[in-house]
Every structure is written in C-alpha cells, then in structure tokens.
Amino acid sequence: MKIAASILAADLTCLGAQIRECQAAGADWIHVDVMDGHFVPNITFGPVVVEAIRRATDLPLDVHLMISEPDRYVADFAQAGADILTVHVETSPHLHRLIQQIKALGKKAGVSLNPATSAACLGEILPEVDLVLVMLVNPGFAGQRMITGVIPKVRQLRRMLDEAQLSAELEVDGGINATTAPLLMAAGAEVFVAAHAIFQTREPIAAAIARLRQSVGALPLPDSAMSRSDLPVSPREC
C-alpha cells in the first residue's frame, strides 16, 4: 500500500509543516490536485505552489492535472518539481502524444479516468503509462463519498494490467478512508490518495496515516454488501 497525501484538504496556512509531518509519518507521495475551474468546477493550485511544495519535501510529487489542454502546462509543472504528471483521458484527444511529451520531460506519466469513463478506452495506452488513476468521485472537491459502482472498474483495470504483464501502478482517489480502503485493496488498488482521512480528522496526521495502513488488514465486505448510503464518513467529510 502506498499512501499519497492530498493537500486539497490540508491547512494551507501551514502547508509546509503539514507536508513535513506527512513525510515523517510515512506517507509515500504528496498528491497535488490541479484544477482550472473549466474541466472541473473548482480552482486550486498552479506551478508556483508545486515549486513551494518541492522545497518542503523530497517525497515524490504526484501532480494530478484536472485541467483542459494539459499539453500547454505539463512543461511548467515538470519544471516546478513534479515527479508524476497525470492527465485525464477526457481532456486529451491526442493522449499518446501527450504521454510521450511528459516522458520527454523526464517525468513519470499517468492517465486518469472519471467515474463514468470506461476502462476500455485505456487499452491502447496502458503499455505507455507509469500510472493509472481511477477517480472514485466526480472530481472537483475533497470530502465526497466514494461511488461504490466504480469498484468493478478498479478490478477490471487490475486484470488488464496483470494480463498484459504491465508495471503501471493502479491509483485510486475519492472517499478514501479506513472503511473504503480495504474494499479497494481487495479490488487491486496499490496507491491510495487520501485527503480528509489524513488532514481533516480529530487525530494527528501520523495517527490518521497509521489508521489507513492498519485498515487494509481488515477483511473487506463484498461490493454488494455495502451501498453508497451505508459508507460511513466523519462529519468533516460531508
């Protein structure tokens, strides 16, 4: 299990300190959600913030570009210090060329799918990418409940990667907490993006990260045993 701590839910008044706390607590990556107010209904961070984060940590920076025309900006984020640049298939009509552009910048290349986008559309690009990110919520805001209907897609992508003997990592994002993480681990996810479950609990960041790691040792329920309304979240995750 790799944990990518998403700064979308962090306290931005002390972002550097919170990132360093995540690193000390054993987080594997720092996840940066870049939103443009066009592809998704929110505006968040740009290359200047990524550059500042780079100075605060030596953890890999997992930069998720939820933006239109990502080909115009990947070089800026690469220069700012991103290690992984993930783009959405929905925004990239020339996806193969964009993936090659990211790799030419010396960065790992990822591709992401929104909840309603089929895994089948990645068949031709899977051999070219280092990361596949499955969105478990409609992107734009932290603290949403996981859409449990997306779990079979995680399982499908796990099969696709394994059957083709590909090394791309399978990442999931949206509604990750100690209850949902075991379900996703059982489906084959490897990297877990967590925002509220790390930064918006009533416990220290180290305890929150430890709780996530411990949760994947629990026996998960089958998909049919838990409806969307059954998935518990803390009051701050609503």
Instruction: Report how far residue 119's alpha carbon sits from residue 198's, in angstroms, rounded to the nearest whole number.
Output: 28
For residue 140, what pLDDT is reported? 78
**In angstroms, what CA-CA distances link 202 with 36, 173, 233?**
30, 21, 13
28 or 229: which leads in pLDDT: 28
**Total domain count, the chain:** 1
Residues 6+ apart with CB under 8 A from 14: none
Instruction: Report how far residue 192's alpha carbon sits from residue 174's, in angstroms, rounded to the nearest whole number.
Output: 9
Catalytic residues, by residue number, are 33, 173
Instruction: Report how far residue 60's alpha carbon sits from residue 194's, in angstroms, rounded to the nearest whole number.
Output: 15
Whether 109 has a pLDDT exceeding 70, the answer reads yes
Whether 232 has a pLDDT exceeding 70, the answer reads no
Residues 6+ apart with CB under 8 A from 169: 2, 130, 131, 132, 190, 191
CB atoms within 10 A of CB 112: 24
For residue 237, what pLDDT is reported? 30
* Residue-number span of the structural domain to which 27 is assigned: 2-237
For residue 139, what pLDDT is reported? 84
Give the CATH number for residue 93.
3.20.20.70
SS3 state at 194: strand
Q: Over the stretch 182-230, which tens digit does the pLDDT of each residue have? A: 999 999 999 999 999 999 998 999 999 999 999 987 434 344 333 333 3
Report CA torsion sign: 200, 203, 205, 206. Answer: negative
For residue 233, what pLDDT is reported? 35
The whole-number average pLDDT for the span 8-17 is: 96
Q: Over the stretch 112-134, which tens digit does the pLDDT of each residue have? A: 999 999 999 999 999 999 999 99
For residue 144, what pLDDT is reported? 85
Helix (H) or strand (E) holding 66: strand 61-66
Pick from 41, 12, 29: which is nearest to 173 by CA?
A: 29
